[in-house]
Amino acid sequence: MTAIVTPAAKLIGLVDCNNFYVSCERVFRPDLIGKPVAVLSNNDGCIVARSNEVKALGIKMGVPLFQVRQLVDQHQIQLFSSNYSL
């Protein structure tokens, strides 16, 4: 009997994590759990990740920080620069 060997099919995996960058920050800072947290873009100009607490305040993804600065201060939202090496 002769076996036919074929190249392995390419396998692509996709993982989608909720609030990914916020979740990463909380791994290193468990004291942030349950508190409003947002992660900013490369130049700290826009919000690119939001905790559920921040989402509940109505802050949208990609919004410029200057537009929501009053909400950030009012609700003591913890801000972090993006850290892509995480």
CATH number at residue 44: 3.40.1170.60
**Does residue 15 sit within a domain?**
no
Structure tokens at 57: 């305040």
* Residue ranges making up the domain that contains 60: 20-81
pLDDT at 63: 98
Strand-pair category, 78-81 with 37-40: parallel
Amino acid at the residue 45: G
Greater pLDDT, 8 or 52: 52
Is the pTM for the entire model greater than 0.85?
no
Contact 63, 56 (CB under 8 A): no
Q: How many domains does the chain have?
A: 1
pLDDT digit string, tens, across residues 19-71: 999 999 999 999 999 999 999 998 999 999 999 999 999 999 999 999 999 99
Q: Read off the pLDDT band of 16 (50, 70, 90).
A: confident
pLDDT at 45: 95
**Does residue 5 sit within a domain?**
no
